[in-house]
Amino acid sequence: MRKFILFIAIFALFSPINSSAQSWLKNRTVGAVEVELGVGLATAANNISHFGKTRAGVDVNAEVRYNFSKVPVDLGLYFSLCTFKRGVQIGDTAKSYNFDSQNLLVTSDYNLFQGRLASLFVGAGAGVAWSSLTKDSSRYGFNFCVMPRVGVELSQHIRITAAYKFYEKANNHLVISLGYAFGGGKR
């Protein structure tokens, strides 16, 4: 993950997108509110504690963001539904369960190197997460959740995001999503 973030940062510094972004940034006007709908791939680490192999699952998310006009920062409310398969070892018995989570987070992004074709962003969110293992009603509950994220926005509407949700050591997970932002963009 660190290598991926470093690659994105180095690419942005030397990108031809950055040169055209500087002149465009002076005339930057964005819509105040945008709504993003996205879908992605979610996966967690294998072999943590008594958990076995993990199979990737789906993350469906929605976010409402307010874009500040004078600074390249936005503030939002993020909601996601996530599920993936997780192997559980209880004694000598191995079973497969669905891990489900719902997240409600307050988010903020800083938009780097804003250009007409592509813009990079880094951000974070904090809020609550509800998680459960299906078929095992004794394993569920609310937790505090923190979600750092990095991504690229293409053509001022298409967003590719990599986020990592921290809330339970055993159920932290990576989400890579593709979203479309309605509104925002250039006014």
Q: Which residues pair with 116 in a beta bridge?
A: none
Q: How does pLDDT run across 105-156, given as a tens digit for each residue? A: 999 999 887 777 898 999 999 999 988 876 654 566 788 999 999 999 998 8
Domain containing residue 85: 2-183
Cβ atoms 33, 66 nearer than 8 A: yes
Instruction: Report which of 163, 181, 177 is spatially closest to residue 60, judged by C-alpha positions.
Output: 177
Q: List the Cα angle 135/137/141 in 5-degree steps.
A: 130
Q: How does pLDDT run across 56-65, given as a tens digit for each residue? A: 889 999 999 9
Write the CATH number for 53.
2.40.160.20
Q: CA–CA separation, 112 vs 107, rounded Å?
A: 16
Based on the structure, what is the number of domains in the chain?
A: 1
